[in-house]
Structure 1
């Protein structure tokens, strides 16, 4: 299991030129479709867990250190998530989170299932294999976000290691860049933040405020109730 340390930045027309100037190498372009799932009362995302199906492959992004928050201004610009990519482990962890929430006193299953059935009537989940969807039904989970992304990726080789930069354009007309470093689960996250900060400085990026990711903008535009709850919970 790895930890993804990432900082987003405004992707303007000059960024490709700046990437080339600092020695970045383009490693390709691709398009993919993402679907994100949660219960109707947002059990996963209100705990900062993000269940995603990307072109048929499942991933659960989890808080790198539960209960901890960045303390310095530079640290707040970076996100940190563990990535679970083994499908059985993804299922096991999702079931655990929902079971714990239910034990704490969640909404009744019958009420939630009734709401889920109404949402599912208009739901399109063709992206994910049919055999993978039964467990979602069993857990009363639905797709709350779906969008396509065009991505151009670069890598920068430095003495400290490789840094990846992705330039994304979502199909709801939003562009954003991401500087990413992957470290082992027991690795030095602070060192990863420093490497990202160094690349950001080389690119001439401002350190004034955190840039919204694709999910932040999607929820703000199309799922305002969900977005408001996540803001209130200090997740976004």
Structure 2
């Protein structure tokens, strides 16, 4: 199982040029639709578990346990999630979480379409992926991503991400919202407010 270490950034008109300037290679463009699922009382997302179906493929993002902590800025700007893609394992994990509560079943919570352009940067320390996403509700966000084997060196991954962010001239002031955060804020304000109160977002 892998852990996805990721830092989001605001896309602007200059970012593609910057990526080419620092040697990024475009590895493809695609369009996909995500459907997210949760129980009626948001059992999964209030525990920071995100159940998604993307073009028929299921994935459960689970909070990853942090290893040693780097400086606060780096820690705050990046997210870390274990990714479960085996359907039986997803069923088992979701069943375990829901069983701890009284609610039964889950319902579709949101659906969004995204156009993605992906880049790969090869560095001595390893490859780093950059995705530029344009959501169908008008939000554009970039993601710098490194996959780490579970139990692997998180600090090294965070350093690689920070290095690419610096090459792209990104500021380190505050965490940038992901597509799902913005979607919930705009279209599911009650759910968004509960996630804020629980310090998930």
Q: Tell me the TM-score normalized by structure 1.
A: 0.82
Root-mean-square deviation (CA, aligned residues, Å) is 1.4
| Rg larger for | 1
Could you say which structure has the higher helix fraction?
Answer: 1
Q: Secondary structure at the match of 2:199?
A: coil
Please point out which of 188, 195, 199 is paired with 1:230: 195
Q: Deviations over 1:58-110 (max 9, x none)?
A: 000000018x998612210000000000000000000001112x2xxx4xx5x
Q: Secondary structure at the match of 1:32?
A: strand
Change (3 A) 1:70 1:37: farther
- Where in structure 1 are there 5+ consecutive unaligned residues? 110-138
Query: Are 2:6 and 2:145, in contact at CA under 8 Å, matched by a contact in 1?
Result: yes
**How many pairs were matched up?**
200
- Where in structure 2 are there 5+ consecutive unaligned residues? none
Match of 2:28 in 1: 28
CA distance in 2, matches of 1:95, 1:206: 41
CA distance in 2, matches of 1:12, 1:58: 31
Match of 2:178 in 1: 213
Matches within 5 A, 1:31-180: 31-65=31-65, 72-100=72-100, 102=101, 106=102, 109=103, 139-180=104-145
Query: Are 1:25 and 1:154, in contact at CA under 8 Å, matched by a contact in 2?
Result: yes
1:16 and 2:16 aligned: yes
Q: Displaced runs of 4+ in structure 1, greater than 6 A?
A: 68-71
Match of 2:160 in 1: 195
